[in-house]
Amino acid sequence: MEDPVAAADMHKAIQDKKMDMDALNQQEFDGENPIERYEEEAKKLSDLEASEKLAMSKLDTRTRTADRRRKAYESKLDEAIHNVSVALTKSFDEIDCKGHVELVRDPDIKQWGAKIMVSFRASEAKQALSSTTHSGGERAVSTVSYLLALQKSTACPFRVVDEMN
């Protein structure tokens, strides 16, 4: 599996080989045929350039495949988050509060997450649910509403909930 590091290493090897070939033009050869030596070095350089081209082609193909898969994943994830958010909003509307769920994106996909945004007072804008801003009761209502919204958006034969804190 070729990667950008391998491609960069090949590029450096090509540059090194070109420098070696340039040095050959400036050296004295003890019994060696400089033309044969130059041709050997030129062949090695050609082989390295072909390897680099193949590695870059494989990398480009893998990058396009990863981008295509990521777009498909994002589309499904956006839909799932939207469905959960709609259910949570409806649940909060029933108790005269505001709430929704949003997807938090980061350049590092491992850092992605769902953020629950809530407001329990008409005069307040929605804020991210947190232990420092919201009371224990507000967090409990939000957590239960979120779990119910998740349940509405997934098909499972049974549910198990343990410690909702």
pLDDT tens digits for range 65-105: 999 999 999 999 999 999 999 999 999 999 999 999 999 99
Kindly state the greatest CA–CA separation across the chain: 95
Average pLDDT over the chain reads 87
Q: Answer yes or no: is pLDDT of 25 > 70.
A: no
> Distance between CA 102 and CA 124 in Å, rounded?
18
Please list, in sequence order, all residues whose beta carbon lies within 8 angstroms of the beta carbon of residue 17, skipping any fewer than 6 positions away: 41, 44, 45, 48
Is 146 in contact with 117 (CB distance < 8 Å)? no
* Distance of alpha carbon 106 from alpha carbon 124, whole angstroms: 27
Residue 80 burial (CB < 10 Å; 0-12/13-18/19+)? Answer: middle
Q: What is the pTM of this model?
A: 0.63
pLDDT tier for residue 139 given thresholds of 50, 70 and 90:
very high
Q: What is the dihedral of CA 149, 153, 156, 158, to 10 degrees?
A: 10
pLDDT of 52 higher than 80: yes
Give residue 63's pLDDT.
Answer: 94
Which one has a higher pLDDT value, 4 or 152? 152
| Banded pLDDT at 153 (limits 50, 70, 90) | confident
Of residues 26 and 92, more confidently modeled: 92
**Does the pLDDT value for residue 8 go beyond 90?**
no
Over range 11-15, report the average pLDDT. 85
Contact (CB, 8 A) for 11 and 52: yes
Most confident of 5-19, 23-37, 103-117: 103-117
* Class of CATH domain 73-153: alpha beta
pLDDT at site 5: 64
CA angle 98, 137, 142 (to 5 degrees): 40
CA distances to 78, 127, 151, 156 from 101, in Å: 11, 11, 14, 21
